[in-house]
Amino acid sequence: MKQAIKKYHLKENVFSFLYDEKEKVYRNLTCKEKGLATYPEPHLKTIYAILENSLSKYSNKKLYGTRRKEKEKENLGSYEWITYKEFGELRTWLGSAFRGFGLKKGNTVGIYSKNCTEWKVTEDACYAYSLVSVALYDTLGAESSKFIISHSDMQLVVCSSDKISKITQFSSQCPSLKIIVSIDEVPLDVKKTAEDLGLTIKLFSEMIEFGKQNELPHEPPSTDDLASLIYTSGTTDLPKGVIMTHKNLVAGMVGGAWSSEYKLEAEEEIYMSYLPLAHILERSLQNFMVYYGGQVGFFGGDIRKLSQDIEELKPTLLPGVPRVFSRIYDHIMNTIESGGIFQKFMFDQAYKYKLKAIKEGHDTPIWNKLVFDKIKKRLGGRIRVMVTGSAPLSPKHHEFLRVCISDAVIQGWGMSETGASGSLGSVDFFSVGNCGVISPCNEIKLIDVPEMGYISNQTNQVGEILIRGDNVFQGYYKDPEKTNEAITSDRWFKTGDIGKWNSDGTLSIIDRKKNIFKLAQGEYLSADFLEIVYMKTKSISQIFVYGSSFENYLVAVVVPNFDVIQKYLDENSITKTDHQEICNLQQVKNKVLEEIEQVAKENKLKGFEFIKNIHLEHDPFTIENGLLTDTQKLKRFKKKKKKKKKKKKEKAKKLIF
């Protein structure tokens, strides 16, 4: 991957143009002569066609790598790889088995496991035989899993064996489901329970062998055929099924490919896969890698040991979400600060000079050798590109990663409904605090949201983001009402995100239309915006901001950054190490509140946006306890849900109101 450092702060827009002055519609500058991008090459208009093209071009190159447990050892071994050709064969054999077991064009096939080669074989088998893939997050609970299987009329699901017991708990309520294909061995008692319920249990290896012996010709999809139902993780309700055609998925991939200034050198590129494949961003990035002939290594399955997988794989491309990159930042800074005064001084000097150099368009090879190469080595030593999405990455973390690890830290904005595309950072200049420029596959306009005070004028272009293009979904499965609410008659998708055009042509996400509430004095506030601001507080790891129309001030549930808090305790000779005990200390609560107030002042928040009281929570918000979505977003539940789902609000109310 070739790159030259030439990053500058730009004052003028050189990336987009006003396509429709009346409607204030903007497009990527590359679309001025070519129009909106829809596919990478004229003959590659489906995901199936893209894979077929790569199977032909890169037949004997490595494609997917997996770490397996070594015999009589606890640790995982080295990566074992299959080639493009071998993957293509597995895909054909599995698809043939699907057809042999009675599946027909348009039937839905579920995939319910952690990222692995079998996951991708299943997905591409669907595309080769015009079936529809339906992904379930590996962390989904029984309620959401049951809903998706039933709602999508799923007939067959490929899953890891640990999911079978969960499925049998509700399979009687999913009459369409007939076949479960297990990626690994199934315990006899689990298999018997499933078969007693009328389900057919097959091993993945058995399906491959059946398809190999009964191979059928492919039945390629058309560009407008349904490719996948992508169920949104949902912060307030049951998931919605996003209808994506092959045209939508290909256009979404092209949006990312065209937005990148890099030309991938296929034999060199290695991608670390650990973000859930059920998420559209991960799938789009992998489609991108396959198109360019890259390699994909899957993490070992335990996110706590991801650093070991990275060290073993030595990837060149590392994706992430802000929460993951925030942990990387915290880990690096804690290591530096614990190394003594001289090490901290060296790092500060190196950081200052490297940041200045990048902004001026050159590098610092000496500082790299003395400081930054050692930091990069913790992430395998070869990372050249980092991609982030899902939520805004803080400017502090964005800048830090560009200085310390790779100047190509690309932040994008997109949604399941837009095929992961929308806008994407450019590596052509140094810019943080935004989501990049418009993707070439779509156009964007901002509309006023007067109830939130967002009204555009000549100097301040703000409003709800509306997006249109071939990457935009067809609608919500079996839900015409929500489809009509989300998509206008002329195919603009109302995203609910509040955006702002910057002077350099980049787009910033500054708010969320749906997560607003009103205080007793009638002031509207955005929980998402305030949580982003308050996350700048050093002593905070996670925060949930809450307000009520019956009260005139804000409160919050805070999970402290215990590394920062422990230093404070040590400095004040307070001997506490138990997290729950620490959270009960009034001194700690006062310290966090003081820092919160300081951050509010530094960010010029209005008086009613200041948090007046907090509850310190020692248990982090996680997917497992139902407080985060599968994409690491904070859940906001509707009133009168189950008691567990009201946990954060109840704590906030109890503590303060």
Alpha carbon 499 to its chain's center: 19
Question: Which one, of 436, 434, 435, 375, lies nearest residue 406 by Cα?
Answer: 375
The DSSP string of 378-412 is TTTS---EEEE-SSPPPHHHHHHHHHHT-S-EEEE
Strands (E), 125-204: 132-135, 156-159, 179-182, 200-203
Residue range 160-189: mean pLDDT, rounded: 96
For the cut 60, the answer to whether the pLDDT of residue 263 exceeds it is: no
- Joined tokens for residue 143: 């309620």
Which SS3 state, helix, strand or coil, does residue 347 take? helix
CA neighbor of 395 nearest in space, from 2, 6, 9: 9
CA distance 570 to 539: 15
The whole-number pLDDT of residue 62 equals 96
The single residue listed with the structure tokens 């996951």 is 119
Q: Residues of the chain with pLDDT > 90: what percent?
A: 63
Structure tokens that stand for 91 in this block: 């895909």
pLDDT of 550 above 70: no
Greatest Cα pair distance in the chain: 73
For residue 177, which of 188, 190, 164 has the smallest C-alpha distance?
164
Overall pTM surpassing 0.85 (yes/no): no
- In the predicted structure, residue 5 carries a pLDDT above the cut 50: no
Q: Sort 393 into a burial class: Cβ within 10 Å, 0-12 / 13-18 / 19+.
A: buried
Highest mean predicted confidence (pLDDT) among 29-43, 429-443, 547-561: 29-43
Is the model more confident about 103 or about 69?
Answer: 103
Q: Which residues lie closer than 8 Å to 538 by C-beta, 6 or more apart? A: 561, 564, 595
pLDDT at residue 374 in the model? 92
Cβ neighbours of 416 (radius 10 Å): 22
The answer to whether 132 and 157 have CB atoms below 8 angstroms apart is no
How is 403-437 classified by DSSP, letter by letter?
Answer: HHT-S-EEEEEE-GGGTT-EEE--TTS---SS--E
468: part of which helix (H) or strand (E)? strand 462-469
Residue 642, pLDDT above cutoff 50: no
Segment 142-161 shows an average pLDDT of: 96
- Comparing 30-34, 305-309, 393-397, the range with the smallest average pLDDT is 393-397
Q: Is the dihedral of CA 469, 119, 123, 384 positive or negative?
A: positive
| Three-state SS letters, 138-151 | CCCCHHHHHHHHHH
Tell me how far apart the alpha carbons of residues 80 and 599 are, in angstroms, rounded to a whole number. Answer: 48
Does the pLDDT value for residue 570 go beyond 80? yes
Ranges 41-55, 387-401, 415-429, most confident = 41-55
Average pLDDT for the chain? 88
